[in-house]
Amino acid sequence: MTEPVLSVLGCGRWGSFILWYGSRCGMRVTGWEPPGSEPFRSLAERRSTDILDLPGDVELTTDLEYAVDGAGLLAVAVPAQRFRGLAARLSGFDLSGADLVLCMKGLEAGTGMRLSEIASEEGMNTASVSAWVGPGHPQQLVRGVPSCMLVASADPSAAERVASSLGSDLVRFYRSRDLPGCETGAAAKNVIGIAGGILDGLGLTGLKGALMARAPQEIARLVSAIGGDWRSVYGLSHLGDYEATLFSDYSRNRAYGQALAQGGGVEGLAEGVETSRAMERLGARLGVELPITSAVRMILDGELSPESAIEILFGRPEREEFPESF
């Protein structure tokens, strides 16, 4: 039997885990970052991160053409806002034999587009497009703590191939045909993670229950408006990821929101920042009201203080919890 070939583009925290995990699943694995990345240089020299050691059979390169050559699975884990530039480069390669697996969660800030839409617009000629979403912190997974995650694709056979290749005793995969809903829900959970961190920073952690109840309805309205299945929001792509995003000490988005509310320095990537802007732009275009998302975006851009945003949300008119329609 031919050994599956996995190429991982983007070797940050999650990408490095995919390198480790792909090798664990018995694949031949290559990781890529562009030249000049100091963290990647360090990874190549030390063969380890602060949470894992790379298996000896994992290959690392800065040559994109070499990295994708012969790949059956092409896992992309670069920051969402960098994906368009990479997709444009990848459109120049013959990737017709590769299943593209989008492993990051975000919407493009300037357009509100989903990552699969960007792949299509930039002319990537892959065999299929899937999104790998759902709850999972590499810090826990490498210690053997299992998780349930999701592969979403408009092509059911592609989702089955990807899930079969990547499923293991560590990650149990479910499948979904609702790529728009799952991509949007997965991106939006980072915005809600920032909101949860803001509540922590204000000493209002008790309001997370209300946040967990109201936010999915807001996101479900948006998913319905783009033609997705609103039920996906209540599955692994969004609500199922709340524990890892709204409560975990490993959540960068939660930590970002907490630091923001406390007036401290904010370091590192929080995908929810740009996604909040993309979602608000998308909601305005589709006529969908997104009060929590808008509040987060205004706090991030300094238009409202966290305290004022809470007051505005609590000052909204009373309404039925479950209206007859979104």
The full set of domain ranges for the chain reads 5-177, 180-314
Closest by Cα among 133, 142, 135 to 75: 133
CATH topology of domain 180-314: N-(1-d-carboxylethyl)-l-norvaline Dehydrogenase; domain 2 (1.10.1040)
pLDDT number for residue 277? 96
Residue 140: is its pLDDT beyond 70?
A: yes
The confidence score (pLDDT) of residue 315 equals 84
pLDDT band of residue 2 (cuts 50, 70, 90) is low
Q: Please check whether residue 129 is in contact with residue 114, taking contact to mean a CB–CB distance below 8 angstroms.
A: no
Active-site entry in 105, 189, 277, 297: 189
- What is the average pLDDT across 51-65? 96
Q: How many CA atoms lie within 13 A of 193 on its CB side?
A: 32
Quick one: pLDDT band at residue 1, thresholds 50, 70, 90?
Answer: very low
Indicate whether 3 pLDDT > 90. no
Which range has the worst mean pLDDT, 78-92, 127-141, 264-278? 264-278
Give me the mean pLDDT over the 296-305 stretch. 96
Residue pair 180/223 in contact by the 8 Å Cβ criterion: yes
What's the whole-number mean pLDDT along residues 158-181?
97
Give me the mean pLDDT over the 62-76 stretch.
97
Average pLDDT, the chain: 95
**pLDDT given for residue 325 in this prediction:** 64
The band of 294, judged by pLDDT with boundaries at 50, 70 and 90, is: very high
CB 219 within 8 A of CB 188: yes
In CATH, the number for domain 5-177 is 3.40.50.720
Work out the pLDDT band at 25, boundaries 50, 70, 90: very high
> Which whole number is the average pLDDT over 231-247?
97
247 in Cβ contact with 196 (< 8 Å): yes
Q: What is the pLDDT of residue 316?
A: 82
- Tell me: pLDDT of 268 over 80: no
Please give the pLDDT value at position 135.
96
- Asked if 208 is an active-site residue, the reply is no
Residue 80 has pLDDT above 60, yes or no: yes
Residue 119 has pLDDT above 80, yes or no: yes
pTM for the whole thing?
0.94
Asked if 251 and 245 touch (Cβ cutoff 8 Å), the reply is yes
Give the DSSP H/E element, type plus range, for residue 2: none
DSSP character for 322? S
Q: Are 165 and 132 in contact (CB under 8 A)?
A: no
